[in-house]
Structure 1
């Protein structure tokens, strides 16, 4: 069984920023989210491996499972290029739609 878990919230998420490859850590809410999802999953299944992107937010979320974390660059988020760190609301709608459909 493969279970995919998105990282917990970061300050960038809370501000509505496109983070991509920016390395924001989890905020307090994100730390609680990571702990909660790890506990919920551990209560349901035995975990054989934990693999995460090298980004700090992913590493912190993975660490909540209490097992060794294998880091794999292939799980890192895509870069948003010049929109990296820009609020989602500031990206022109036609640019966002073109990016999403690509």
Structure 2
């Protein structure tokens, strides 16, 4: 679960559930990667399509890498991209009782 402050610092490989605007940082603020859940571009998984999620990436404290789109397949396979020495992934996209999107985002090294 995400930290109530909206920013969760966690070891590599631990998925964190994020609402839009919330951040996961892993493994540490200095020298790590931050992923900010920005948007759901589309979600057609119910009809066998895909879900596209935008994650804004920061490397370390200051290096803004811009946004990257990750595509979840209808079969639930996670989506991931390598950026620098780390990978960012979306392992799930669900919706809360008010239909707000919640993405499970992870920073990892295979």
Place the TM-score, normalised by the shorter chain, in its bin. Answer: under 0.3
Q: Which has the higher contact order (CA 8 A, sep 6+)?
A: 1
User: TM-score, normalised on structure 1?
Assistant: 0.28
User: TM-score, normalised on structure 2?
Assistant: 0.26
Write 1 or 2 for the structure with the bigger share of helix.
1
Write 1 or 2 for the structure with the bigger share of strand.
2
